Amino acid sequence: MRILFMGTPEFAVPSLDILRKKHEIVGVFTKVDKPNMRGKKIKYTPVKEYAIEHNIPVFQPNSLRTEETFEIIKELNPDLIVVVAYGKIIPNNIIDYPKYGIINVHSSILPKFRGAAPINAAIIAGDKESGVTIMHIAEELDAGDIILIGKTPISEEDTFLTLHDRLKEIGAETLDEAVDLIEKGTAPREVQNHQMATFVKPFKKEDCHIDWNKDEETIFNFVRGMNPFPTAYTLHNDKILKVYKVIKLNKQYEYGEIGEIVDSIKGKGFVVKVAGGSLILSEIKPENKKVISGGDSINGGHLKIGDKLI
């Protein structure tokens, strides 16, 4: 099958790889290159790097709504377009063009967690299961008919990164199965229950701020869901303290205020009082410092008992 692939980040690479081994990838659309963090060197997207390595034509249009972009697609003449975390809305004229339409790999069990950050959202919500949905693209965001779903349990050890890396592989495997079914004409098509839909907006800086007034479990899940990106944080002496990992202590302290460092545990870290319980700061990053373990923080002079986190 002739496939045009649209994707940008590392999450999309396993899907492109598995398709390339069985189908003809006529081209790759990916977002425009950006300078690296220091602004000196242009950084290619992971999908572009893969495409160049495997001699796949790369296109990086600023917009999908121009006649020029549509002409490129017509010239490539794909049977199917596959979208995996591309980062652009697909207009109707492109949706309607390929023989088999356009399908998308979305990193949640739809209709739950439509939108920009479904992997983070599943962990933050305390869900015990996540997955990847292969669906037909529709005009409304993440609202298309479902073809297949691949699932995985979420453990308490999972972070955004571990779940992300697992889902990108599950997504590729489920996509491979879906494309085979589409080619055979036997792919299922299930309409989503739109009344059950939930949405996740892109995270802003203020969304990552830890609220110590919440309970142990809620904060524990919040920190995991933000690790390593976009990263939960608190304020300590008016400076940002990033928090990568906390440990549930299941202990209530009668003294101290919510958000106060009330104790330290050798080899583990400082203890913060929260609503109805307490948490150990197991992995933190003070402003302009490296990430340190909670045990090292006790002797590092960055925090002390009685400090208030807000």
Q: Report the pLDDT value the prediction gives residue 132, as an integer from 0 to 100.
A: 98
β-strand pairing of 292-293 with 261-265: unpaired
Comparing 236-245, 247-256, 287-296, the range with the smallest average pLDDT is 287-296
Report d(CA 134, CA 172) in Å as an integer: 10
Q: Report the pLDDT value the prediction gives residue 157, as an integer from 0 to 100.
A: 97
Structure-token pair, residue 237: 């002496």
Q: Report the pLDDT value the prediction gives residue 139, as an integer from 0 to 100.
A: 83
Which phi and psi (to 5°) does residue 233 adopt?
Answer: -145, 160
Structure-token pair, residue 76: 């490539």
Kindly tell me if the per-residue pLDDT of 260 is higher than 80.
Answer: yes
Q: Report the pLDDT value the prediction gives residue 301, as an integer from 0 to 100.
A: 76
92's enclosing H/E stretch is helix 92-95
- For residue 277, CA distances in Å to 37, 236, 258, 308 come to 39, 20, 9, 16
124's enclosing H/E stretch is helix 118-124
* Average pLDDT of the chain, as a whole number: 96
Q: Report the pLDDT value the prediction gives residue 73, as an integer from 0 to 100.
A: 98
Q: Report the pLDDT value the prediction gives residue 299, as an integer from 0 to 100.
A: 81
Kindly tell me if the per-residue pLDDT of 56 is higher than 80.
Answer: yes
Kindly tell me if the per-residue pLDDT of 185 is higher than 80.
Answer: yes
Band (pLDDT 50/70/90 cuts) for residue 146 is very high
Band (pLDDT 50/70/90 cuts) for residue 142 is very high
Q: Report the pLDDT value the prediction gives residue 295, as an integer from 0 to 100.
A: 85
Report whether 73 contacts 4 (CB < 8 A). Answer: yes
Band (pLDDT 50/70/90 cuts) for residue 42 is confident
- DSSP-based three-state secondary structure for 223: helix
Q: Report the pLDDT value the prediction gives residue 37, as an integer from 0 to 100.
A: 64
Q: How many CB atoms lie within 10 A of CB 129?
A: 10
Burial (CB count <10 Å: 0-12, 13-18, 19+), residue 265? middle
* E strands present in the chain: 2-7, 24-29, 34-35, 42-43, 58-59, 80-84, 102-106, 114-115, 129-136, 146-153, 199-200, 232-236, 239-248, 261-265, 269-274, 277-286, 292-293
Any idea how long the chain is?
310
